[in-house]
């Protein structure tokens, strides 16, 4: 006899590769990504900003954290600058981390919006499969490490990546803001 039996629905999905997940294991790196999301900074400037935010780290430690993020493909060198016979590197994040949680009653408040989004996304996903199903399935097949890994949801991951990257494209071209405000 079971003491508890409950249907547990999926409430969150986290999609990232293992290297990026490992890079985000340290909260200082998340802070660095946040800083570099909107502006280019040098190691010295990152160090100063971390101190301002209450993180006392040696400059060599900051450099290490930036290198981990760079190796994970989340930070790039945006600009090189000559400075007194040396080269100063300015870093910028190419990854946006949303480390938020929705307010308690948001599910109820947003339920109708979620229904609309679900209906509209169903149409988008249907169109994606009609027009690009072969490509989606091909990429998903390439991801499978073995024939027994059926629970990995590769096609779902590919579709999520397509939708996520489409949102990124809209946000980077300011179209998302224009759609939000009704401007065109």
- Sheet strands (E) in the chain: 75-83, 86-93
The answer as to whether 49 is a domain residue is yes
User: Domain check: are 87 and 49 in the same one?
Assistant: yes
Cα(94)–Cα(34) distance, rounded to whole angstroms?
A: 11
User: Domain check: are 117 and 65 in the same one?
Assistant: no
Which tens digits make up the pLDDT trace of 62-111? Answer: 999 999 999 999 999 999 999 888 899 999 999 988 878 889 899 999 99
CATH (domain of 45): 1.10.10.10
Range of the domain at 87: 18-93
Q: Which of 40, 63, 93 is the last residue of a domain?
A: 93
The answer as to whether 56 is a domain residue is yes
Please tell me the pTM assigned to this model: 0.75
Which tens digits make up the pLDDT trace of 106-160? Answer: 999 999 999 999 999 999 999 999 999 999 999 988 887 666 665 678 889 899 9
Q: Closest Cα partner for 93 from 72, 110, 114?
A: 72
User: Domain check: are 72 and 119 in the same one?
Assistant: no
Tally Cβ neighbours within 10 Å of residue 16: 14
Which residue pairs, CB below 8 angstroms and at least 24 apart, start in 3-6? none
Number of domains in the chain: 2
User: Domain check: are 118 and 88 in the same one?
Assistant: no
The answer as to whether 2 is a domain residue is no
Q: Which of 69, 93, 117 is the last residue of a domain?
A: 93
Q: Which of 43, 62, 93 is the last residue of a domain?
A: 93
């Amino acid at each position: 006899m079971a003491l508890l039996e409950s249907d547990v629905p999926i409430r969150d999905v986290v999609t990232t590769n293992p290297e990026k997940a490992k890079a985000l294991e340290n909260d200082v790196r998340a802070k660095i990504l946040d800083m570099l999301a909107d502006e280019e900074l040098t190691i010295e400037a990152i160090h100063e900003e971390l101190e301002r935010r209450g993180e006392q780290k040696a400059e060599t430690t900051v450099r290490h954290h930036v290198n981990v993020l760079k190796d994970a493909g989340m930070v790039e060198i945006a600009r090189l600058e000559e400075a007194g016979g040396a080269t100063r590197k300015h870093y910028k994040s190419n990854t946006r981390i949303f480390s938020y949680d929705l307010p308690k009653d948001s599910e109820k408040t947003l339920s109708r919006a979620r229904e609309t989004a679900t209906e509209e996304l169903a149409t988008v996903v249907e169109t994606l499969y009609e027009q690009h199903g072969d490509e989606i399935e091909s990429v998903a097949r390439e991801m499978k490490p073995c024939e027994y890994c059926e629970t990995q949801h590769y096609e779902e991951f590919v579709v999520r990546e397509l939708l996520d990257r489409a949102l990124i494209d809209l946000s980077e071209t300011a179209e998302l803001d224009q759609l939000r405000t009704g401007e065109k």
